[in-house]
Amino acid sequence: MDPLDIIKNLPEEVEEKPSRFKKIFLIIVSILILLLFLTYLLTNSNILYRIIGLSESSTIKDNVISINETNFAVFQGSTYQELIEYYNQNKEKEFKVCLSGIIDEGNYMINEVYKTEIISQTYTEVVSNPCPKDTIIDLHSHPYRSCLASDQDLKNLENNNIGQPWLIMAIMCEKQRFNFYI
């Protein structure tokens, strides 16, 4: 018998439809993989920290940024551009500046960026001399999109508020993103 005849006489393949069990199994496995991925995202403190920080922070538009629901920080003149230039010079490490100006009906009108003496700075920390008494916003940077204050940041703000109750703290975590603490 010729091998070609054997091949010709073989029954045609019938497409098998996936069984109901197979469909249910694939759905369950897909859901479990999705749950594992979500669990990783939500329990990884670094990712969760960034998500919360981004949701709490605000972006600047036309030199105005929201401090809270009713108050704003307004960069006057070239103060915002000066801050951006300093930010660009210090992308690899944290920095601190003191923003001076006036507080008008709860809005912080910034007319000067004062660069206080930096004692030491790393990617995640800056140690500097304190801001002058006329400072209205004590601003320091954080690594990219890490917009939440550390415990030390909050302690520093509390200590500074003893002598300067009007002083607020700002964290700059991107060129256009800030988080304010009152």
Q: Mean of the pLDDT values across residues 73-97?
A: 97
pLDDT in tens, 13-42: 656 666 888 889 999 999 999 998 887 766
Which CATH superfamily, name and number, covers 57-181?
Answer: Cytidine Deaminase, domain 2 (3.40.140.10)
Q: Does the structure show a pLDDT above 60 at 162?
A: yes
| Phi, psi (rounded to 5 degrees) for 126 | -135, 135
At residue 83, the pLDDT reads: 98
At residue 11, the pLDDT reads: 61
Query: Both tokens of residue 40?
Result: 């990783």
pLDDT in tens, 132-153: 999 999 999 999 999 999 999 9
pLDDT in tens, 118-128: 999 999 999 99
Residue spans of the domains in the chain: they are: 57-181
CA dihedral 160, 163, 164, 168 (to 10 degrees): 20
Confidence of residue 51 (pLDDT cuts 50, 70, 90): confident
Q: Is 99 exposed, middle or buried (0-12, 13-18, 19+ CB in 10 A)?
A: buried
At residue 74, the pLDDT reads: 98
> With pLDDT > 90 as the criterion, what percentage of the chain qualifies?
73
8-state DSSP, 77: T
Q: Mean of the pLDDT values across residues 46-73?
A: 90
Q: Does the structure show a pLDDT above 60 at 170?
A: yes
At residue 13, the pLDDT reads: 61
Task: Give dist(CA 161, CA 156) in Å, integer.
Answer: 9
Q: Mean of the pLDDT values across residues 164-172?
A: 96
Q: What does the DSSP assignment read for 108-119?
A: EEEEEEE-PPEE
Least confident of 8-12, 76-80, 146-150, 164-168: 8-12
Task: Give dist(CA 103, CA 105) in Å, integer.
Answer: 6
At residue 1, the pLDDT reads: 57
Give every CB contact of residue 96 below 8 A, 6+ residues apart in sequence.
116, 118, 126, 128, 138, 139, 140, 141
Mean pLDDT, the chain, as a whole number?
A: 89
| CB atoms inside a 10 Å sphere around CB 30 | 10
Q: How many helices and strands, by DSSP H and E, does the chain display?
A: 5, 10
Q: Please tell me the total number of residues recorded for the chain in this structure.
A: 182
The better pLDDT of the pair 2, 108 is held by 108
